[in-house]
Chain A
Amino acid sequence: MINKDFFFKGFKSILAPDSPAIALGCCFIAIGALLKNLGFNIQESIFSTMLTYALPGSLVMAESLLVGASLLNIFLAVWFVNARLYPMTVSLFPLMMHKNQPRWKYYFSCHFIAVSAWLIMKSNYKNIEKKHRIDFWIGIGSATWTTAVIGTFIGFYASDYLDKNMMMGLAILNPIYFLCMMVGAMKTIQIVSAVILGLLLGPIFYFLSPEWSILLGGLVGGTIAYFIGELNVN
């Protein structure tokens, strides 16, 4: 089963001074308010955050519902914007897989893959013995997931008191927090190149194809950054 010590160690990591809890919570407050304005009830809003737990995907779903898109359109639109979760998972789970751990932990805990938890794990995994990393990860994921659910709950009931300017303030919090975290993670030539190329290519590819822009920007930028890093090492 899950090692309690490492689970709670991970869970408490969101209490750190530079934790993403505040930014994450505020963004889901905005999501909660948005869902209420779209006609969701409290159960549906909480259900949405619990099952999806990916902010851009929730936003795309909300926008799609607003324009009356079909279920297939919603699926494709969300898949395009959330396909980033695939490379994020592949770049994290090999660090946590251990022969003594059951596979169900990996299948269950992949639901916690999101930018905030991913960045916390990436900056802390070296301090945890490999065998216990998955339990530490489940702790981090449970904490960020709980924060998101609480944020949605607060946002739903606070929506009547939030004007448009306040909603804009809440909406900018998350990209600014992630931008600072990404800049803070730029410690090797590969990561520096990957972040800068992604920031440049994402918007450029938007003019070619808005749906594919994130994936193309990431694929092209990441591949160039990989070769820059390999050449630099050689």
Chain B
Amino acid sequence: MSTSIILAIIVTSLATFSSRFLGVISSEGIKETSKLFRWFNCLAYSTLAALIARTIIFPVGVLSDASYLSRTIVVIFCLFIFFISKRNFVYPTVISAIMMALLSGHL
């Protein structure tokens, strides 16, 4: 078991580092004022948004046991808190954890 865990960690880190390293190699020929850079900027924001949506709607791990209703309520309420708190990041983040822990037992 232990050997397979170490191999899995090495394989995971290689799969992760390859994207980062290729990104640096590609960056060497790109100017920050170019259209290509702006396109990659859009790709990065869009990919992150897709990842966040997938993490909330189709999660893996322990969050997949929480109901859709509880996740939806937490997201909507925390966005509401974010806007009424003048875009403070800390309040909605802390409240999300408390709300999810409380709601997951009931919804």
Among B51, B61, B63, B66, contact of A62 (Cβ-Cβ < 8 Å): B61
Give chain A interface residues in 147-179, CB to chain B under 8 Å: 164-179
Among B44, B61, B88, contact of A91 (Cβ-Cβ < 8 Å): B44
In the complex, chain B residues whose CB is within 8 Å of the CB of A23: 93
The interface size bin for chain A is 35 or more
Secondary structure class of chain B's binding surface, majority of residues: helix
Shortest distance between the CB of B47 and any CB in chain A (Å): 3
Bound-complex Cα distance A201 to B43 (A): 13
- Closest residue on chain B to residue A96 by CB atoms: B27
A168 and B44 contacting across the interface, CB-CB below 8 Å: no
Among A110, A168, A198, A199, contact of B66 (Cβ-Cβ < 8 Å): A168
- Closest residue on chain B to residue A198 by CB atoms: B49
- Could you mark each residue 1-43 of chain B with 1 if its beta carbon is under 8 Å from any beta carbon of chain A, else 0? 1101111111111111111111110111011100101111111
The interface size bin for chain B is 35 or more
- Could you mark each residue 44-85 of chain A with 1 if its beta carbon is under 8 Å from any beta carbon of chain B, else 0? 100110011110111111111100000100111011011111
B42 and A71 contacting across the interface, CB-CB below 8 Å: no
B20 and A111 contacting across the interface, CB-CB below 8 Å: yes
Shortest distance between the CB of A204 and any CB in chain B (Å): 9
- Could you mark each residue 175-190 of chain A with 1 if its beta carbon is under 8 Å from any beta carbon of chain B, else 0? 1111111111100001
B23 and A170 contacting across the interface, CB-CB below 8 Å: no
Among A44, A51, A59, contact of B61 (Cβ-Cβ < 8 Å): A59
Among B1, B5, B46, contact of A221 (Cβ-Cβ < 8 Å): B46
In the complex, chain A residues whose CB is within 8 Å of the CB of B93: 22-23, 173, 176-177, 180
If the complex has contacts A89-B23, A97-B28, A172-B71, are A203 and B58 also in contact, measured as CB distance less than 8 A? yes
In the complex, chain B residues whose CB is within 8 Å of the CB of A196: 49
B78 and A180 contacting across the interface, CB-CB below 8 Å: yes
B9 and A195 contacting across the interface, CB-CB below 8 Å: no
A217 and B47 contacting across the interface, CB-CB below 8 Å: yes
- Closest residue on chain B to residue A166 by CB atoms: B101
Contacts beyond the supplied A173-B97, A179-B52: 8 A-B pairs with Cβ under 8 Å: A40-B5, A51-B12, A52-B16, A92-B27, A118-B44, A191-B41, A203-B58, A225-B46
Q: Which 10 A-B pairs have the closest CB atoms?
A: A89-B23, A218-B47, A202-B50, A198-B49, A217-B50, A169-B101, A222-B43, A222-B46, A198-B46, A93-B27
Query: What are some 11 contacts across the A-B interface (CB < 8 A)?
Result: A22-B90, A39-B1, A61-B12, A85-B16, A86-B23, A176-B74, A182-B48, A199-B49, A202-B54, A205-B50, A221-B50
